[in-house]
Amino acid sequence: MTHEEKARELFLQGFNCAQSVFAAFAEDMGFSEQQALKMACGFGGGLGGRREMCGAASAMVMVYGALRGYDEPNNTELKAKHYAEVRQLVEQFEAQFGTSSCRTLLGLDENVKIMEPSERTKAYYASRPCPKLAAAAAAILEAWLQQHPQAETETDFSEKADMQGGNT
């Protein structure tokens, strides 16, 4: 199963958009699916239901950081490179959907600031682009990772966790 298929499947099981994308890459990051679902749960609904940045796009960035992020606080070269790559990922998402704003993606009025989670019904799924957004975010990241192989000198998050005894 591809990351795209897994993200769509997780959303359709009832997880939020961020959880769906983040957990689709759980194994790649060295986490259990349960750990990934818990870590990403607050990013759904555009950050806790605030309808800000789409949770699927946020999770795409979180996964990218876990897999290819920097951990040297004073290395401005690495930080700038990472930020540029994150911008490119988000720009790909925005090119496909016109925005990364949850509120706009859902067609909500700008005055809508907070929305509580909705019951997952057939009507809910029929009215939401979220399964498509989660799948697309996962596909964008999966393609990016394949097109931009990791440099030999980089160590990914899961390898670091293994070396530190953090991968159980």
DSSP H or E run through 22: helix 17-24
- Residue that the structure tokens 């961020």 belong to: 18
Higher pLDDT, 117 or 86: 86
Residue 79, pLDDT above cutoff 90: yes
Question: Which of 81, 82, 36, 89 lies closest to 58, judged by CA?
Answer: 89
Residue 96, pLDDT above cutoff 80: yes
- Write the pLDDT tens digit of every residue in 59-75: 999 999 999 999 999 99
- Write the pLDDT tens digit of every residue in 103-161: 999 999 988 888 888 899 999 999 999 999 999 999 999 999 999 998 654 545 555 45
- Write the pLDDT tens digit of every residue in 31-46: 999 999 999 999 999 9
Query: Alpha-carbon torsion 50, 33, 31, 134, what sign?
Result: negative
- The CB density around residue 28, as the number of other CB atoms within 10 Å, is 18
CA distance 48 to 2: 27
Model-level pTM?
Answer: 0.89
pLDDT band at 168 (very low <50, low <70, confident <90, very high): very low
